[in-house]
Structure 1
């Protein structure tokens, strides 16, 4: 199942590759939080409908609520997808970039396995990977002092 999801992710990222934007556009806004080289290697795509793998096996695993849940963004490897009405919301970009860091640390198989396990065990709102992203986007949004997000995330994994 993990390989099937990763293949779907790779196919999705390829499909939207020509529509993606570099996160280097956020260098000034996220200075002190994300290194410029990290932002240059991260991308976002603005889409009307957030792509999610809708495999029957995932629903059988109890992930139907997550698949059906409306979201403003979702991250697959170094690329994340946002809806048009939220495309200019820095907080959302900050949050999704936390997930890009998590993907880079855990790798595809590790992230997918852990994310599924956390959603099954804790639910979306209490999943540790999500709680970390919400904590950090709240810190940024509330004007918290800069911190190196990739180093912070790595220290908490």
Structure 2
């Protein structure tokens, strides 16, 4: 998926001044985002059979796949959304793509989207950022709390 958007991917280093103290410059240089009209989702019959239909049908502003996240054009200027999706990028990196996908699906199946631990972690982090909380390394926080 990400390779098909390679020409329009932008480096997250564009957010370095906004996320200073939360994400390291070296991390932001190696992660990417794509602004798009349509959020790409894995809509396969197997996904729906696994109980992920509600998640697939959900109207979302962004989604992350490994080192790249996608945001809708109308939400592209929302720093909180970029912050949120970058925290998912850290989770993907720490858990490996296969590990993240397996855990994320299991959590959504077991708890629902809103209560899935990986989502709750990211919402807590982006809420902290939104409230102008003290700086903390999101990369370290995710590593310590997975």
Query: Is the pair's TM-score, using the shorter chain for normalization, greater than 0.5?
Result: yes
- The reply on whether 1:71 has 2:60 as its aligned counterpart is yes
**What does residue 107 of structure 1 align with?**
96
SS in structure 1 of the partner of residue 125 of structure 2: helix
Aligned residue runs from structure 1 range 1-150, under 5 A: 12-150=1-139
Matched residues in 1 for 2:122 and 2:129: separation? 11
4+ aligned runs moved over 6 Å, structure 1: none
Partner of 1:153: 142
TM-score (norm: length of structure 2): 0.99
Q: Which runs of 5+ in 2 are unaligned?
A: none
Of Structure 1 and Structure 2, which has the larger fraction of its residues in helix? 1
Return the alpha-carbon distance in structure 2 between the equivalents of residues 43 and 155 of structure 1: 23
Distance 1:50 1:126 in 2: 22
SS in 1 for 2:41: coil
Query: Residue by residue, what CA displacement relative to the aligned partner does 1:29-61 show, whole Å, maximum 9, x if unpaired?
Result: 000000000000010000111000111011111
TM-score (normalizing by structure 1): 0.92
Taking the aligned partners of 1:27 and 1:92, their CA distance within structure 2 comes to 15
CA RMSD of aligned residues (A): 0.5
